[in-house]
Chain A
Amino acid sequence: KNEVEQSPQNLTAQEGEFITINCSYSVGISALHWLQQHPGGGIVSLFMLSSGKKKHGRLIATINIQEKHSSLHITASHPRDSAVYICAVVDTGNQFYFGTGTSLTVIP
Chain B
Amino acid sequence: DSGVTQTPKHLITATGQRVTLRCSPRSGDLSVYWYQQSLDQGLQFLIQYYNGEERAKGNILERFSAQQFPDLHSELNLSSLELGDSALYFCASSVLGTGLYGYTFGSGTRLTVV
Contacts and interface: CB of A to CB of B under 8 A. Distances in A.
What is the interface of chain A mostly: helix, strand, loop, or mixed?
A: strand
A52 interface: no
B105 A96 contact: no
Given A43-B90, A44-B105, A96 B58 contact: yes
Contact of A98 (B45, B48, B110): B45
Interface residues on A, range: 20 to 34
A97 B107 CA distance: 20
Q: Which of A50, A93, A94 counts the most B-chain CB atoms under 10 A from its CB?
A: A94
B103 interface: yes
A12 B45 CA distance: 29
B43 A88 contact: yes
Interface residues of B, number: 26
B107 A42 contact: yes
Interface in A4-62: 29-31, 33, 35, 41-45, 48, 50
Contacts of A94: 48, 55-56, 97-99
A100 B101 CA distance: 22
B37 to A, nearest CB: 8
B56 A41 contact: no
Nearest to B88: A41
Contacts of B55: 94
